[in-house]
Amino acid sequence: MSTAPTREDAQRLDAADPLAAHAARFERAEGVVAYFDGNSLGRPVAGTAEEMARFVGHDWGSRLIRSWDEAWMGWPEETGDLVGSAALGAAPGQTVVADSTTVLLYKVLRALADHQVAVDPRRTELVLDTDNFPTDRYVAEGIAAERGLTLRWIDVDPAAGVTLEQVEEAVGPRTGVVLLSHVAYRSGWVADAGPITAAVHDAGGLVLWDTCHSAGSVPVHADDWRWDAAVGCDYKYLNGGPGAPAHAYLARRLHDLPTLRQPVQGWMGRRDPFLMEQGYVPAGGVRSLVSGTPPVVGMLPLRRALRMLQEAGIEQVREKSLRLTDLALQIVDAWPAELGVTVASPRERARRGGHLTLRHPDFREVNARLWERGVIPDFRAPDGLRLGLAPLSTTFVEVWDGLAAVREELGG
């Protein structure tokens, strides 16, 4: 047991927070004491409702179909570039926003896997870890069945995550594509994304990184780390709203290869779509990842939130994120051992993402009671309470108040 931070300590941290003004620029939720689910569904940026109303009245309601030419047609790449610069460390022209995360994962993973086999027929293995998010595992299973590929599983510690050594051991002359999460959805473990990518490349493989839990909370340097591809959610730390279309990054060196084709060949990803010609010809560049009509309405809140992230700066956001999780760890570490709560997340700052998972056998029931009192973490079976401390929208006092409620519900 160490000295417990007081509520005044938390207030002091808020007063000294250079991003405090940003936290004040989110919609305040009636009756919510502490929102610890910004890693599942980020809060709306204030003014989103008004912007959507203007959109319905003007862009859609008055400009009507003319808006496609005036603006919308380019939104997948334009919004993609915003994600790329604000969150992914990606130079323009390599990121698009389109489809759900699951659909984009399918399109990009299959494109990469087919490419690998086309170049070298021995490369029939998809490598992934057992604690990857369910959708990632299921998509890989489906592609393996569809294309006659083999899944090679890396067994990881669910309280930590995949290591460089484990990846080095798993890859070789049969490796097609490695699919890993940059930040693990359960523990918050930050994978060694640069060195792992280099190790996979040395073995002749390609890597698809899932950025659902890193985009907007942990800096990504996709270009510098020589990433091949990434897919991630835009409704978590990027505050795009429920079901906001996801982002996909594809490194420029992989564009326009005749062997690298995404499988859903729709007209909006075709060259000159309005010529309505026979035969599919990819549009070229990252536009080729688009299939059908872009989900324009779903990009609207996201674009607003991305501009805010851009302005705050991802390095500053990361610094605040670490301070928030530092505070949460200090609070939990000061709880009496009899309370029975353990931490199932990395403690080392460099390994720690934007969320923490605590474990206790009663957390399922505790979580339900917390939600009733406006303290909103999420429960992850079998006994995990996940605290997603979205750095732009969460205050230090919120962390303190929320954890005080957790302790109280545990009878401590």
Tokens of 20: 């405090």
CB of 153 to ligand PLP, least distance (A): 16
Rounded (5°) CA angle 75-206-222: 45
Q: What is the contact mask toward ligand PLP in residues 23 to 42, using x (rule: CB under 6 A)?
A: --------------------
**Catalytic residue IDs:** 133, 210, 235-236, 386
- Taking the alpha carbons of 394, 399, 400, 403 in that order, is the dihedral positive or negative? positive
For position 100 contacting ligand PLP by CB under 6 A, the verdict is: yes
20, β-bridge pairs: none
Q: What is the contact mask toward ligand PLP in residues 126 to 165, using x (rule: CB under 6 A)?
A: -------x-xx-----------------------------
- Residue of the chain from 210, 378, 398, 409 that contacts ligand PLP (CB under 6 A): 210
Q: Which is closer to ligand PLP, CB of 132 or CB of 367?
A: 132
End-to-end CA distance of the chain: give it in Å, rounded.
Answer: 14
232, β-bridge pairs: 247
Q: Which is closer to ligand PLP, CB of 181 or CB of 288?
A: 181
- Residue of the chain from 143, 196, 212, 286 that contacts ligand PLP (CB under 6 A): 212
Nearest to 392 by CA among 298, 300, 301, 324: 324
378, β-bridge pairs: 386
- Residue of the chain from 48, 101, 124, 394 that contacts ligand PLP (CB under 6 A): 101
What part of residues 169-188 is at the interface with ligand PLP (CB under 6 A)?
181, 185
CB of 376 to ligand PLP, least distance (A): 17
CB of 242 to ligand PLP, least distance (A): 10
CB of 208 to ligand PLP, least distance (A): 11
Q: How many CB atoms lie within 10 A of CB 256?
A: 12
Q: Would you say 385 and 405 are in contact if contact means Cβ atoms under 8 Å apart?
A: no
- Taking the alpha carbons of 339, 343, 348, 353 in that order, is the dihedral positive or negative? negative
CB of 213 to ligand PLP, least distance (A): 5
For position 237 contacting ligand PLP by CB under 6 A, the verdict is: no
SS3 content of the chain, % helix, strand, coil (to 5): 45, 15, 40
Tracing tokens 């003007």 back to the chain, one arrives at 58
Residues that bind ligand PLP (CB under 6 A): 100-102, 133, 135-136, 181, 185, 210, 212-213, 233
